[in-house]
Amino acid sequence: MGLSYEDMEVGKTYEVGTHTFTRDEIIRFAEQYDPQPFHVDDAGAAASPYGTLIASGWHTCSVMMGMLVRNMLQGSTSMGSPGIDDLRWLKPVRIGDTIRMTNSILDKRVSASKPDRGIVSTEWQGINQNGELVIMVRSKAIFGLRNPGAAA
């Protein structure tokens, strides 16, 4: 079995993975989900405040979610999430940028109404190859307890 509630240590930061954004994937994602000119069109991007094509923030979130599931949650007792508390796109993600994702455990508690699971507060960070924080997400996740009643 992978990670469970008991394995989540407040203050611990996990290295989740890296991803390099390509021109083709930026355009492909944006054409389907966020077709703003600075995501899909060179001329539109050149006329924008960014000056060049950039990834949709939703694309960056989706990439990070994929890394999180494949590299941390797969095989875990994850039961999903009640939602995102905070989301910040701090810098544009450009063609060729490599984002390194971390996930930090901020807080956790056993559910009062369902003591077989716990709620874990996390902060995801995406940091580019220059060491700049480009995205930050604070959310909660629900994890099953391996030993209900043993963790308080």
Are the C-beta atoms of residues 85 and 140 closer than 8 Å to each other? Answer: yes
Q: Please indicate, yes or no, if residue 72 is contained in any of the structural domains.
A: yes
Instruction: Provide the number of structural domains found in the chain.
Output: 1
Q: Taking residues 58-73, what's their average pLDDT?
A: 96
Q: Please indicate, yes or no, if residue 149 is contained in any of the structural domains.
A: no
Buried b (16+ CB within 10 A) or exposed e, 132-144: eebbebebbbbbb
Count how many residues are written for the chain: 152
Residue numbers of the domain that contains 115: 5-144
Q: Please indicate, yes or no, if residue 151 is contained in any of the structural domains.
A: no
Q: What is the CATH number of the domain that holds 127?
A: 3.10.129.10
- 146: helix, strand or coil: coil
Q: What is the tens place of the pLDDT at every residue in 11-46? A: 999 999 999 999 999 999 999 999 999 999 999 999
pLDDT of 1 higher than 60:
no
Cβ neighbours for 2, distance < 8 A, ≥ 6 positions apart: 73, 74, 75, 76, 77
Q: Please indicate, yes or no, if residue 67 is contained in any of the structural domains.
A: yes
Q: What is the tens place of the pLDDT at every residue in 128-138? A: 999 999 999 99
Q: What is the tens place of the pLDDT at every residue in 87-97? A: 999 999 999 99
pLDDT of 151 higher than 80:
no
Q: Please indicate, yes or no, if residue 62 is contained in any of the structural domains.
A: yes
The pLDDT of residue 147: 83
